[in-house]
Amino acid sequence: MDDPRRAEDRGRREEDARDLTKMSYGSMAHQCKECRRETYAKVVRVTLWSGDRLIVVENVTARICDDCQEQYYDDDTSEKILQLASTSFPPDKVVREITASVFSLDDKQK
Ligand SMILES: [Zn+2]
């Protein structure tokens, strides 16, 4: 049942909240900009960096490309994420804190 390529589990490339506007779309029928495949709707987690702070936003309705796994957000969703970003992800809106494991490919750090 679980697709091992579930989009929210894949490591998203590091991105800034401002870049999310590039992935915004207006209409419901939607094709991937990269590979022209039809996308499907899914509720995902978005991870992004705000300076040195790693931010996770849950319950994000996105459209996912089945082929390249690119995620797209509707205008309302990107607006909400940008709203959080523009207010520096305020502490009073945090729903919980998590611990993240950090790895390095630099041998000197081991
Ligand atoms: Zn694609």
- DSSP for 29-92 reads S-B-TTT-PBEEEEEEEEEEEETTEEEEEEEEEEEEETTT--EEEEHHHHHHHHHHHHTT--GG
Residue 43: strand pairing partners: 61
Structural domain total, the chain? 1
CATH of the domain at 56: 3.10.20.860
Q: Indicate whether 7 pLDDT > 70.
A: no
Q: Indicate whether 13 pLDDT > 70.
A: no
Give me the pLDDT at residue 16, please.
Answer: 63
Q: 45 lies in which domain range?
A: 7-87
Give pTM, 2 decimals. Answer: 0.69
Give distance in angstroms: CA of 55 to centre of ligand 1: 24
Tell me if 99 is assigned to some domain: no
Give distance in angstroms: CA of 71 to centre of ligand 1: 9
Sign of the CA dihedral running 51, 57, 62, 68? positive
Task: Return residues with CB closer than 5 A to ligand 1 (ion).
Answer: 32, 34-35, 65, 67-68, 70
